[in-house]
Amino acid sequence: GDSVTQMEGPVTLSEEAFLTINCTYTATGYPSLFWYVQYPGEGLQLLLKATKADDKGSNKGFEATYRKETTSFHLEKGSVQVSDSAVYFCALKGSSGSARQLTFGSGTQLTVLP
Amino acid sequence: GAVVSQHPSWVICKSGTSVKIECRSLDFQATTMFWYRQFPKQSLMLMATSNEGSKATYEQGVEKDKFLINHASLTLSTLTVTSAHPEDSSFYICSAPEYSNQPQHFGDGTRLSIL
């Protein structure tokens, strides 16, 4: 079945540091890929998405590129802020079968220090 | 934009109580909604898929008699945790896709604490 492997945390960075959170996936066909962010005590918010190979999703300074050759969708941000502290989830939606449900990675806790 | 509203956001109750959690899609219709459970510092685990007008589809290992799901309308799904016990304490989150090819919208979650 589909699976998502995400870089384990927690990750602690200083403000303005560069961020990379690795995400790789296993799926048949052509899944859609997502990054969600969860702030403390809240539900998930979509951060960015990519629906086909070589697509780059971007939002709020975060970027991720759908790499089919390496089955990866790594999240990056050039300069993190304290307000970026949250848990980040990589997820995929399969292209067949129960295509509406999401498969999540384990989540990565990010803490940005001032 | 499209929003999913979840209520209540926090519940504390005694063991043996049944608790109902509501998930509403605002300004869009959702024939399918999803219910997830999240343990502290862990990922979301899909519990069941709620289908409007038909029975929910439960994931393996999820007790359907324990977690009752009712999708009575195109904008409302409810999850009832029956005879809740401390081990049912968790963070429950619902989600709904506005369109089949669009990302899911998530509710803000319900933190359930059973004493």
Burial of B13: CB neighbours in 10 Å, binned 0-12, 13-18, 19+? middle
Span B16-53, pLDDT tens digits: 999 999 999 998 888 899 999 998 878 889 999 999 98
What is the rounded CA–CA span in Å between residue B93 and residue A63?
26
B56 touching A, CB under 8 A? Answer: no
Residue A13 pLDDT more than 90?
yes
Residue corresponding to tokens 């998405």:
A49
Of A89, A107, A97, A108, nearest to A34 by C-alpha is A89
Task: Kindly state the average pLDDT of the residues A86-110.
Answer: 83
Within 8 A by CB and 6+ apart from A58, the residues are A48, A64
What pLDDT, on a 0 to 100 scale, did the predictor assign at position A75? 98
Which of A22-26, A32-36, A59-63, B25-29 has the weakest average pLDDT? Answer: B25-29
Find the residue in B nearest to A110 (Cα).
Answer: B41
Q: Where are the alpha helices (DSSP H) in A8-114?
A: none
The beta-strand segments (E) located in chain B are 3-7, 10-13, 19-26, 32-38, 44-51, 57-58, 67-73, 76-81, 90-97, 104-106, 110-114
Q: Given a cut of 90, is residue A63 above it in pLDDT?
A: yes
Of B43, B46, B93, the CB nearest to A107: B43
Subunit contact A101:B103, Cβ cutoff 8 A:
no
The residue among B11, B44, B113 with the most chain A CBs within 10 A of its CB, best to mutate, is B44
Are the Cβ atoms of A49 and B108 closer than 8 angstroms?
no
* Highest mean pLDDT: which range of A57-66, A95-104, B96-105: A57-66
Please determine, for residue B72, whether its predicted confidence score (pLDDT) is greater than 80: yes
In whole angstroms, give the CA distance from residue B3 to residue B27. 7
Question: How many Cβ pairs closer than 8 A exist between chain A and B?
Answer: 51
Average pLDDT score, chain B:
91
Residues of A in contact with B46 (CB under 8 A): 101-102
Residue reference for tokens 């089949």:
B100
Q: Is the pLDDT of residue B100 over 80?
A: no
Question: Quick check: B30 and B75 in contact, CB under 8 A?
Answer: yes
